[in-house]
Structure 1
Amino acid sequence: MHNTDNLTFVKSSYSGGNGACVEVATTPDGGRAVRDTKDRGSGTQFYTRDEWAAFVAGVKAGEFDV
């Protein structure tokens, strides 16, 4: 289990006021931690540096566009 006590989560500046956002923090090993802003207690997902890099590359390439 990962500890989130010393992580600094940030919310995207693109987030609207409706609460439908996620927060992301960089972990000490360079990975990322992601949680739901409206339900922070529901858990946090953790990704390695490589997993996060693959996700960001996919976003930039339009792989998730609808």
Structure 2
Amino acid sequence: MINATELYAAPLAGANWHKSKYTANNGQCVELAPVPALPAVAIRDSKNLQIPPIRTSNHSMQHFAAALLAGGLVAV
């Protein structure tokens, strides 16, 4: 298990950010990057890079993606 201190201490300088291949080219995208040396991912808003990226473990991201695919998350 990764603790928050360790997760947010990892530098993201030079991170390899990725957008979905399904993203429209309108600058309103979510980007993901692996967190160096940790089994974790960073997530940022491509239109507002001043906001620091959030970070989560690969395990948590996999559960989130599975819930999205299964329709288990509903916008309110």
Q: Which of the numbers 7, 12, 16 marks the counterpart of 2:20?
A: 12
Where does the alignment leave 5 or more consecutive residues of structure 1 unmatched? none
What's the CA shift for 1:65?
Answer: 5.4
Where does the alignment leave 5 or more consecutive residues of structure 2 unmatched? 1-7
Give the root-mean-square deviation of aligned CA atoms.
1.7
Q: Number of aligned residue pairs: give it.
A: 66
TM-score, normalised on structure 2?
0.73
Within 2, Cα distance between the matches of 1:53 and 1:18? 27
What's the CA shift for 1:41?
Answer: 2.0
The structure number with the bigger radius of gyration is 2
Query: What residue number does 1:25 align with?
Result: 33
